[in-house]
């Protein structure tokens, strides 16, 4: 049970310069982003950083700070510089890593110099080669984002501080594209790490590329990726696979959504509202609201973190479905991300919609480890 802050995700901008068809923010059930200011104001930044300092004094361990959006660079250079200076005056980078998740299209050398000075690592969203990426990651007018993103990655790679700056790529699995093409393309970009997410979905809205609860398109895709990964003599790190391997050997996961560890995550919206993990948004409109809509302007983060509601959200990681509780892979799978368990009928009291995928992938990893 998490009663501390592990990660604070700051929505510096509530809009995006892309319009990806699978986006959980703009294409999901939730529409509250429309009421948010487009950018976080200087006043909100000041109050937020004070709240984070206050929180750091009330817990013995640090926390990760993630700049997110929408597209976080839409905050603009001056205000981002202001936010980062304020954060770095109070938080050292060892205990308080700052990272930024971007689509890469707005990256410039000036931004990268700032991130280098402020010790901010950058992860770029790209789904693979042009064909894979253009299946969903397009502009509002339907134009490909591929060239701009690849240009951003090349800028990152060519920066003198790229070893620190470039954290890696984050891709949504496109099950119709071969894992080999995806792996080879991302590796060719020189990424130090490639992480993967599944397409959003739940029991009422099947994820793209999945034909039923019983089908295993994603488990097969990941199993193929595992074979490619393990047979590469110079592999590029795949954190989501490393986590499953570690969990299968009795270790812990580094991220939410696997294993039985719970993580204390808070989201700060551009107006300063404190929200639950925003991946819950896909379940229903308002799923990420706390019952009292607190704002950093009036409320210390500790009041939310010590609330029974925060504890309940952290405990959502532990599945309640009897299928999961009796499952041989529960220790490793952990029931998957809560958003994937949702159905209008049972709430989160279901196995993951990716249950069969998780199961065959974990079995694959276990038999591979057994053979070593």
| CB of residue 207 to ligand SF4, shortest distance in Å | 14
31 makes contact with ligand SF4 (CB under 6 A): no
Q: Among 358, 361, 364, 365, which residue interacts with ligand SF4 (rule: CB under 6 A)?
A: 358
Kindly tell me which of 235 and 251 has the beta carbon lying closer to ligand SF4: 251
d(CA 124, CA 104): 6
Contact 259, 331 (CB under 8 A): yes
Per CB under 6 A, contacts with ligand SF4 among 303-322 are 319
CB of 257 to ligand SF4, least distance (A): 11
Q: Which is nearer to ligand SF4, 272 or 334 (CB)?
A: 334
Q: Which of residues 327-356 bind ligand SF4 (CB under 6 A)?
A: 327, 329-330, 333, 335-336, 351-352, 355
Euclidean distance between CA atoms 39 and 72, whole angstroms: 9
CA-CA distance, 41 to 44, in Å (whole number)?
5
Rounded distance between C-alpha atoms, residue 372 and residue 370, angstroms: 6
Give the burial string for 49-76 (b: 16+ CB within 10 Å, else e).
bebbeebbeebeebbbbbbbbbbbbbbe
What whole-number distance in Å separates Cα of residue 179 and Cα of residue 170? Answer: 14
Task: For residue 268, give both structure tokens.
Answer: 């700060």
Pairing of strands 7-11, 64-68: parallel
- Residue nearer to ligand SF4 on the CB measure, 168 or 319: 319
Q: Does 323 bind ligand SF4 (CB under 6 A)?
A: yes
Q: Which is nearer to ligand SF4, 33 or 218 (CB)?
A: 218
Q: Which is nearer to ligand SF4, 308 or 326 (CB)?
A: 326
Our finding on whether 324 is near ligand SF4 (CB under 6 A) is yes
Binding site for ligand SF4 (CB under 6 A): 319, 323-324, 327, 329-330, 333, 335-336, 351-352, 355, 358-359
């Amino acid at each position: 049970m998490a009663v501390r802050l592990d990660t604070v995700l700051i929505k510096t901008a509530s809009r995006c310069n892309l319009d990806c068809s699978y986006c959980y923010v703009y294409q999901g059930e939730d529409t509250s982003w429309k009421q948010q200011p487009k950018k976080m104001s200087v006043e909100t930044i000041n109050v937020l950083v004070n709240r984070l300092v206050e929180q750091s004094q009330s817990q013995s361990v640090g926390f990760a700070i993630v700049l997110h959006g929408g597209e976080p660079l839409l905050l603009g250079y001056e205000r981002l510089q202001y936010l980062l200076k304020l954060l770095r005056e109070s938080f050292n980078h060892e205990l308080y890593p700052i990272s930024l998740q971007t689509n890469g299209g707005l990256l410039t050398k000036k931004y990268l110099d700032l991130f280098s000075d402020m010790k901010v690592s950058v992860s770029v969203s790209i789904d693979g080669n042009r064909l894979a990426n253009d299946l969903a990651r397009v502009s509002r007018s339907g134009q490909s984002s591929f060239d701009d993103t690849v240009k951003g990655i090349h800028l990152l790679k060519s920066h003198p501080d790229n070893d620190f700056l470039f954290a890696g790529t984050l891709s949504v699995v496109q099950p119709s594209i071969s894992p080999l093409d995806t792996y080879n393309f991302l590796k060719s970009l020189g990424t130090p790490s490639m992480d993967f997410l599944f397409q959003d979905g739940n029991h009422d809205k099947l994820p793209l590329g999945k034909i039923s609860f019983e089908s295993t398109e994603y488990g097969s895709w990941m199993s193929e990726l595992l074979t490619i990964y393990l047979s590469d003599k110079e592999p590029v790190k795949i954190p989501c696979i490393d986590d499953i391997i570690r969990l299968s050997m009795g270790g812990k996961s580094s991220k939410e959504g696997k294993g039985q560890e719970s993580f204390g995550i808070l989201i700060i919206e551009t107006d300063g509202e404190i929200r639950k993990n925003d991946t819950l948004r896909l379940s229903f409109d308002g799923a990420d609201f706390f019952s009292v809509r607190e704002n950093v302007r009036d409320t210390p983060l500790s009041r939310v973190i010590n609330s029974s509601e925060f504890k309940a959200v952290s405990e959502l990681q532990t599945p309640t479905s009897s299928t999961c509780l009796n499952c041989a892979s529960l220790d490793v799978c952990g029931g998957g991300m809560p958003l994937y368990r949702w159905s209008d009928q049972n709430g989160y009291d279901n196995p993951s919609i990716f249950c069969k995928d998780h199961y065959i992938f974990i079995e694959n990893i276990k038999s591979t480890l057994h053979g070593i």
